[in-house]
């Protein structure tokens, strides 16, 4: 697989892993944070489940809207920023019920938007290997991320540390997706720019055809 294809696939795999890791951190540490703030365990679990239900609804609806708009990069940036802001407010204990629902809604459209990116650079014959690399990046982050979040919680002595970490992860999607745009734009430029020898060959071929045309008709 050429580097021009490999690098964008790795970037999209990291973005996919970042988004899923943030969801795992929210669903794992949000109930703990609510309980630390004095909320009963059953209510804390119910509020977290409410955000999950909104995410379940937002995934297909958001995916449809992203597909209709044809702007997955804009959707990743917009939804990622909204979700990061909502998660920050949640970790700070500011209107946790409302911002938890906002987080659940904002995180949903990211799934379809992110998964549409690898297909933009992978040819059909490269997709099996490409998606293997894509999901390898995802699984590495999912293996390393939860233990790192646990160390943050232990260091700060509060579950909000893991949620702040999740907000930072969501913010990191913005520069990552801009890197993807830069890499794919460069790849597209290389793809559409013919090589000098090909241009020269095309001109020579055109000259030969133009010169032989009248003779052929005269004969």
Q: Categorize the per-residue pLDDT at 69 as very low, low, confident or very high, splitting at 50, 70 and 90.
A: confident
Q: Where are the beta strands (DSSP E) in 124-179?
A: none
3-state DSSP helix/strand/coil % of the chain, to nearest 5: 90, 0, 10
In a domain, 36, yes or no: yes
Task: State mean pLDDT over 120-137.
Answer: 88
| Structural domain for 65, as ranges | 3-192
| Number of domains the chain is built from | 1
In a domain, 97, yes or no: yes
Quick one: 165 exposed, middle or buried, by C-beta within 10 A (0-12, 13-18, 19+)?
buried
pLDDT at 199: 43
Dist CA 46 CA 160 (whole Å): 18
Domain CATH number, residue 152: 1.20.1250.20
- Are 179 and 18 within 8 A, CB to CB? no
In a domain, 208, yes or no: no
Q: Categorize the per-residue pLDDT at 187 as very low, low, confident or very high, splitting at 50, 70 and 90.
A: low
In a domain, 134, yes or no: yes
Give the HSE-up count for residue 196: Cα atoms under 13 Å, Cβ half-sphere.
0
In a domain, 210, yes or no: no
In a domain, 204, yes or no: no
In a domain, 40, yes or no: yes
- Are 33 and 15 within 8 A, CB to CB? no
pLDDT averaged over every residue in the chain: 84
Dist CA 114 CA 15 (whole Å): 7
Percent of the chain at pLDDT > 90 equals 60
In a domain, 211, yes or no: no
Q: Categorize the per-residue pLDDT at 130 as very low, low, confident or very high, splitting at 50, 70 and 90.
A: confident
- The pLDDT tens digits for 19-49 are 999 999 999 999 999 999 888 999 999 999 9
């Amino acid at each position: 697989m050429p580097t021009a294809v490999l690098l964008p696939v790795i970037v999209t795999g990291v973005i996919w892993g970042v988004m899923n890791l943030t969801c795992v951190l929210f669903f794992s540490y949000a109930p703990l944070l609510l309980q630390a703030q004095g909320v009963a365990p059953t209510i804390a679990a119910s509020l977290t489940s409410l955000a999950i239900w909104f995410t379940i609804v937002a995934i297909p609806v958001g995916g449809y809207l992203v597909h209709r708009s044809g702007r997955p990069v804009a959707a990743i940036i917009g939804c990622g920023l909204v979700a990061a802001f909502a998660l920050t407010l949640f970790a700070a204990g500011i209107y946790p019920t409302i911002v938890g629902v906002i987080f659940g809604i904002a995180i949903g459209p990211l799934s379809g938007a992110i998964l549409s990116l690898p297909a933009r650079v992978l040819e059909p014959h490269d997709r099996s290997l490409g998606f293997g690399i894509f999901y390898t990046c995802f699984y590495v982050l999912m293996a390393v991320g939860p233990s790192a979040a646990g160390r943050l919680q232990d260091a700060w002595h509060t579950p909000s540390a893991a949620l702040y970490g999740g907000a930072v992860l969501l913010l990191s999607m913005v520069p990552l997706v801009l890197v993807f745009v830069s890499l794919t734009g460069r790849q597209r430029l290389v793809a559409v720019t013919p090589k000098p020898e090909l241009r020269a060959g095309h001109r020579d071929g055109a000259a030969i055809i133009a010169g032989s045309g009248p003779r052929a008709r005269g004969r």
